[in-house]
Structure 1
Amino acid sequence: MTVLTKLMPPLSLLVFSSFLMCRFTLCEEKAPKIAIIGGGIGGASAAHYCRELFGKDTTIDLYEAEQVGGRLRTITIDGKKYDSGGTILHPRNFYMKNFTKMLELDTVDHKGGVLGIYDGKEFVFTGSKYSLVMLSKLLWRYGYDVIRLNFFIQDLLSKFSRIYDLQDQGMAFTSTSGLLKAMSPKFEEMTHISTKAALSEAGFSEKFIKELVGGALMSNYGQTTNVQGFVGSVSIAGAEPGLWSVEGGNNRVPEGLIKEAKVNLNMAVVTDITLTGKQYEVQYLNKDSSSPVKKAYDIVIIATPFHQDSKKVNFHGFPETPKTYQDFHRTVATYVRGVPNISKFGQQRLDDLPTAILVSNPNLIFNSIGLQRPVDKKYRNPDGTVDKSHPVYKVFSQEPLSDEQLGELFTTIDSKDVVDWMAYPHYKSSEKLLNFQLHDQMYYLNSIELAASCMETSAIGGRNVALLAYNRWFGIQGKIDNLPKTSGGKTEL
């Protein structure tokens, strides 16, 4: 027996012991403590994907200052509930569709409405609830722009959909710019020019941009075609048929995701985040307490927008203050149960009034007026329309409307409810996009809102920061800010 043979058992034991130690260490690393600040659709999707990636042994604490759902919430009027935040979803919103299916929630189709575009004096366009009639009217008013729009939207959605394949492959991006470029370099470029300029370059007419695109932007974001081109393009993507919402309210999605992810939900206000070595100390105030509480985490995901009207979070111990501030645009939604002043809009009968009134003139007192649908199917007709005997209209405006101003728009007002909030960023083509990664293991999910703010982009941002945290935690550098070889790195138009 050689000396080497005599040494084999001890060596084997040593190797095996080392293997066990490595396994034990990895198991320890697989269970980081994660804090998510914000319980809207972004924070809820981040919680869902963090649980999916890190496993059941990971501690996930979620902090929400007001109510789960964030900007997804409902308002009750005359015993019926209406969505008062994010209202309509696109048929190609894959994450929201998958969440709804996973949570076994029913959906409601948005159909049967009639579009009108008002310039302050008259309707420059009035559509139809019949698709063929609607198409013929669009072609008569806007000509080839209608065909061009279809190609534009399909091309946009095709490139946008690339993010789903990339995220399925575990790819993550440290910046919003990087995420947009991964879908298409053109997307990032569009954030540096106005929607008007981008669509003019694409061949759309001035009339089409002013009326149809401008009207959609005023309704969706309360802003004009001067906003950056990417968010303007996302806004007009809603022109496709098949729009939908969640039965009972879209807020049921974040509520269900948080419950499904089995997180520790804290109804509390986070006041401070302190960098202490490789961990983060989160200080918060519970709603029923005046004494602050501190807790240490390995990963922190900020999933609430920091704007001029938000609660301030103080950062301590960082080499430089993390860049999170966004200038948000004020949105006032006035819910009126009553009868519109049809004479103001040049109509003879209430039935002739469009159910969705967009404006092509940004100087009016309102941004849009829309007949609302209760979130419960039982209050809708079989064709998706609502009973006009007790109608509820939502009026979007830049500022709160006085009783005198509402009196111009309605002949009868049975009730009035107002939701006044900072709903979306103020979009400028000169705005620099923010990063998702603020520090080693601290992330700002809502940076994606400077590209475009909607339920689906928030869900995409939630999955991105979860993947980013996971890849950083386990040192998977090849899946951070890199395109997989299978794509050939080919993302150009």
Structure 2
Amino acid sequence: MRIAHSVFVASLFALILPLLQAADYQQTVLSVPPREKRVAIIGGGAAGTSAAYWLKNAFPATAKSGVRVSTTLYERNDYLGGRSTVIPIKDDPELGLFELGASIFIERNFNLANATKRFGLNLTGLTEELPFERGLGIWDGKDFLFEETGNKYWDMAKLLWRYGYSLIRFNNHLESIISRFADLVYHGKDDVSPFYEVDTALGQFGLETLLNETSSDYLEKRHGYSELFVRELIQTATRANYGQDVQLLHSFGALVSMAASGAWATEGGNYQIFEQFAYRSGAEIKLGSTVVSIHNTTEVDESGHYVKSYVVTTEDGVDAVYDAVLLASPMHLAGIDMPFPNAQHAPREYHTVHVTVIAGVIDPSYFGRTAETMPTLIVTTGDPLTSNFENGEQPFTTFGIHKYFDDSGESVVKMFSSKPMSESELDKLFTSRSWTYRKAWEAFPKLFPIVEAKEWPPVVLHGFDDDSNNGVLYVNAFESCISTMETETLASKNAIRILREQWCQDTSCVFFGDGWGDSM
């Protein structure tokens, strides 16, 4: 799912320590050099791996002055990439790898697009070449309310005929918001303060009105778009991207879902982007290492000063001490014991996605179509267009054809659904199946509107106050606003900018800018 397009949020970071000199009777007295700062990153997905990379660029080991930083990246799985995961088709890597989760990004996702270029990764479209590729079909359980033909001019004419001026007006509205957002987020300035609270970021980027009301209220009531346009076309995008209908999803989620131009994936899997972030960061990477607790302690540094630090304990009982800890995983899924009041914040409820991947022969008659006229991607309608489904419940949210085998006539199809698909449902969709793969996961938050600032999860879980410039940050706090691979890299950049602001006050750090530096 996750037509993972999105544009969003900014982050910053810097670091340094002072070299004190005092001349007295022709003598120069140097202070004891400060010890190296130690950072733990917990989570090897988009947020954690990119944080390690930004950290390296904010505090490069080659810098002649500034703070020295060592980084340890903990990942409980034996692979990097988080929710960007691939599986071999039919358990055979020779048949190709198949993306299960975070499938695509868009041209305007600067960090991901830039990463693929810098890391030498090849881009690909959403599907391999198919014998018949007709695009999108919006299905209400009986009829296709709209379907593409593969002819872009005819398809645009059909869109305008069905949805009228709402389509043109919305495209202009969307472009203005995305352009403004990109200008604010993708900057190369070191004088822009990072955000320490989610609510601060929303104000900084003018997002409050996009997050405090539902998409249906914002689009239909506030801006006067037609119900037909919102409940069919926009809701198709929100269901495909977030599995949520417009009367539940906040309006920013709908706008992000519609920002689909120039969608790409990384050939072989998007996880490679995050592997490269991690490997190029110089961090010590601990795969298969589950963190079970984080607690604060006090150390004495080389100068005899008391320093607030944090003990990270793994499942095998190994302790390590750090100056800063970045939690780059959904807090409720991480299962880490943290005795900090801010860590007891009620978690944002996550949406469970059931992924079913099939290699089999599709029965197009289920949709009233032939093999030649089947849409490549079918998205079911949501509320209130559910009366044609049995018991008013859609069997799936999306049905996407991704690959075709000439020799067997089989297709590889990925389906997303809000509950497990039964064998009987699958038998109706396919005349035969040679391979079935299932996975359920809490893919992203339920993006319902939030009005009160206190409802957003905290960015600072502990520290970074008047008593200490060390602390614990929750990188994934921003995922409660919007969940994409790109915004995870932006949230991680913000975390690094917080460290930079905290640690560079008494020394000169290198210019951080957009975070990319000269790293390759």
TMscore range, shorter length: 0.7 to 0.9
Report the CA distance between 1:113 and its aligned residue. Answer: 5.2
Report the CA distance between 1:163 and its aligned residue. Answer: 3.6
Letter of the structure 1 residue corresponding to residue 202 of structure 2: L
Question: Secondary structure of 2:104's partner?
Answer: coil
Residue 10 of structure 2 is matched in structure 1 by none
**Is the counterpart of residue 429 in structure 1 residue 449 in structure 2?**
yes
**Is the counterpart of residue 409 in structure 1 residue 429 in structure 2?**
yes
Superposition pairs of residues 101-250 of structure 1, within 5 angstroms: 101-110=117-126, 114-166=135-187, 168-169=189-190, 171=192, 172-183=194-205, 185=206, 187-200=207-220, 201-225=222-246, 226-238=248-260, 240=261, 242-250=262-270
Report the CA distance between 1:405 and its aligned residue. Answer: 1.1
Q: Does the C-alpha gap of structure 1 residues 14 and 234 become closer, same or farther in structure 2, counting only changes over 3 Å?
A: farther
Q: 2:378 aligns with which of 353, 357, 361?
A: 357
Q: Does the C-alpha gap of structure 1 residues 246 and 90 become closer, same or farther in structure 2, counting only changes over 3 Å?
A: same
Q: Does the C-alpha gap of structure 1 residues 472 and 323 become closer, same or farther in structure 2, counting only changes over 3 Å?
A: farther
Q: Does the C-alpha gap of structure 1 residues 235 and 11 become closer, same or farther in structure 2, counting only changes over 3 Å?
A: closer
Farther off after superposition, 124-133 or 458-467 = 124-133
**Contact 1:214 1:359 survives alignment (8 Å):** no
Q: 1:96 aligns with which of 112, 135, 139?
A: 112
Question: Secondary structure of 2:178's partner?
Answer: helix
User: Using the alignment, how far apart are the partners of 2:286 and 2:151 within structure 1?
Assistant: 48
Residue 65 of structure 1 is matched in structure 2 by 76
**Is the counterpart of residue 312 in structure 1 residue 317 in structure 2?**
no
**Contact 1:167 1:463 survives alignment (8 Å):** no
Residue 253 of structure 1 is matched in structure 2 by 273
Report the CA distance between 1:188 and its aligned residue. Answer: 2.1
Count of residue correspondences: 439
Report the CA distance between 1:295 and its aligned residue. Answer: 0.7
User: Using the alignment, how far apart are the partners of 2:417 and 2:476 within structure 1?
Assistant: 24
User: Using the alignment, how far apart are the partners of 2:382 and 2:264 within structure 1?
Assistant: 28
Report the CA distance between 1:91 and its aligned residue. Answer: 1.1
Report the CA distance between 1:388 and its aligned residue. Answer: 9.4
**Contact 2:134 2:373 survives alignment (8 Å):** no
**Contact 2:245 2:382 survives alignment (8 Å):** no
**Contact 1:117 1:211 survives alignment (8 Å):** yes
Q: 2:328 aligns with which of 294, 303, 322?
A: 303
Q: 1:473 aligns with which of 503, 512, 516?
A: 503
Q: 2:479 aligns with which of 445, 449, 458?
A: 449
User: Using the alignment, how far apart are the partners of 1:301 and 1:167 within structure 2?
Assistant: 23
Q: Does the C-alpha gap of structure 1 residues 360 and 350 become closer, same or farther in structure 2, counting only changes over 3 Å?
A: same
**Contact 2:297 2:311 survives alignment (8 Å):** yes
User: Using the alignment, how far apart are the partners of 1:100 and 1:15 within structure 2?
Assistant: 55
Report the CA distance between 1:259 and its aligned residue. Answer: 0.2
Farther off after superposition, 338-347 or 97-106 = 338-347
Report the CA distance between 1:263 and its aligned residue. Answer: 0.7
C-alpha distance after superposition, 1:208-253 (max 9, x if no partner): 1111111111121111111111112111112x2x211111110000
Report the CA distance between 1:53 and its aligned residue. Answer: 0.6
Unaligned residue ranges in structure 1 (runs of 5+): 1-9, 286-290, 380-385, 477-493
Farther off after superposition, 161-170 or 174-183 = 161-170
Report the CA distance between 1:121 and its aligned residue. Answer: 1.0
Identify the structure with the greater helix proportion.
Answer: 1
C-alpha distance after superposition, 1:34-69 (max 9, x if no partner): 000000011011111011112224210000011310
C-alpha distance after superposition, 1:113-157 (max 9, x if no partner): 511100111100011322212211111111112212221221121
User: Using the alignment, how far apart are the partners of 2:114 and 2:408 within structure 1?
Assistant: 33
Identical columns (%): 29
Q: Which has the higher contact order (CA 8 A, sep 6+)?
A: 2
Q: Does the C-alpha gap of structure 1 residues 44 and 145 become closer, same or farther in structure 2, counting only changes over 3 Å?
A: same
**Contact 2:475 2:491 survives alignment (8 Å):** yes
Residue 60 of structure 2 is matched in structure 1 by 55
Report the CA distance between 1:162 and its aligned residue. Answer: 2.6
Q: 1:41 aligns with which of 39, 46, 68?
A: 46
State the TM-score, normalizing by the size of structure 1. 0.84
**Contact 2:48 2:328 survives alignment (8 Å):** yes
User: Using the alignment, how far apart are the partners of 1:147 and 1:16 within structure 2?
Assistant: 74
Farther off after superposition, 82-91 or 426-435 = 426-435
User: Using the alignment, how far apart are the partners of 2:245 and 2:419 within structure 1?
Assistant: 16
Residue 87 of structure 1 is matched in structure 2 by 103
Letter of the structure 1 residue corresponding to residue 327 of structure 2: I
**Contact 2:459 2:474 survives alignment (8 Å):** yes
Question: Secondary structure of 1:301's partner?
Answer: strand
Report the CA distance between 1:280 and its aligned residue. Answer: 0.8
C-alpha distance after superposition, 1:336-365 (max 9, x if no partner): 111222112111x21201001111135311
**Is the counterpart of residue 372 in structure 1 residue 402 in structure 2?**
yes
Report the CA distance between 1:15 and its aligned residue. Answer: 8.2
RMSD: 2.4
Residue 74 of structure 1 is matched in structure 2 by 86
**Contact 2:87 2:97 survives alignment (8 Å):** yes
User: Using the alignment, how far apart are the partners of 1:215 and 1:262 within structure 2?
Assistant: 42
**Contact 2:310 2:322 survives alignment (8 Å):** yes
User: Using the alignment, how far apart are the partners of 1:50 and 1:387 within structure 2?
Assistant: 49
User: Using the alignment, how far apart are the partners of 2:419 and 2:219 within structure 1?
Assistant: 29
Residue 389 of structure 1 is matched in structure 2 by 409
Question: Secondary structure of 2:331's partner?
Answer: coil
